[in-house]
Amino acid sequence: MVLYVIRHGEVKANLKNQINGRNNHGLTFKGKKQAKDLQQIIKNLKINVVFCSPLKRAKQTCKIATKNKYKIIYDNRLLERDTRSMQYKPIEILKKNKVIWYDCNKNIICKNSEGFKSIISRINNFIENLKLNYKNKNILIVTHGDICCAFHLYFNPEKNIANFELKNCEIVKYTLKEDFEHDT
């Protein structure tokens, strides 16, 4: 099984260096261009199934990047972190507190924001579902920054996830071998 994981295109919160969250804002002009640029990469991939976060920025990225050639399965496990009171705060807060933001042992952080443990649980559940239902398939996944971090951690458990960052519309390939050992 091969997973192609993509972070959505640019949005205003990215431009303003703000913490994003579960808002439903669309892509900027640049974000749409980033998604369009992905078309050249995606057209050369053998994709069997496409999963996407149900948030507008991910949907737009997915539809543009795939040219609407695939049925898209929207899955709430791919939603961005529920940042609540941290939404739209300066991103500098995270840079100073990455240890807290990516603490794998906390379900809730910063008073009411979703902790990384909760995100890991969602993504592990999602991957287990893929293993059961999509063996030997090539899967495209369009999602969000912190969700991309959880995928990366799944395939690289020894890495310090606080140092991993996927740029807007960057794509990463992960391989699950038939015996489902991790390989990147």
Cross-strand bridge partners of residue 183: 175
Per-residue pLDDT averaged across 104-118, rounded?
Answer: 83
Listed in order, strand segments (DSSP E) in 69-132 are: 72-74, 108-109, 113-114
Confirm whether 71 is domain-assigned.
Answer: yes
Q: Residue 40's domain is classified under what CATH number?
A: 3.40.50.1240
Helix (H, G, I), strand (E, B) or coil at 23: coil
Domain of residue 137, residue span: 2-81+120-183
Confirm whether 87 is domain-assigned.
Answer: no
Question: DSSP label at 156?
Answer: -
Per-residue pLDDT averaged across 109-126, rounded?
Answer: 90
Confirm whether 50 is domain-assigned.
Answer: yes
Confirm whether 61 is domain-assigned.
Answer: yes
Contact between 54 and 142 under an 8 Å Cβ cutoff? The reply is no
Let me know the angle formed at the C-alpha of 120 by 54 and 30, rounded to the nearest 5 degrees: 45
Confidence of residue 179 (pLDDT cuts 50, 70, 90): low
Confirm whether 162 is domain-assigned.
Answer: yes
Mean residue pLDDT of the chain comes to: 90
Confirm whether 108 is domain-assigned.
Answer: no
Per-residue pLDDT averaged across 144-172, rounded?
Answer: 90
Confirm whether 18 is domain-assigned.
Answer: yes
Per-residue pLDDT averaged across 4-30, rounded?
Answer: 94
- Number of domains within the chain: 1
Confirm whether 94 is domain-assigned.
Answer: no
pLDDT digits 0-9 by tens, 138-153: 999 999 999 999 999 9
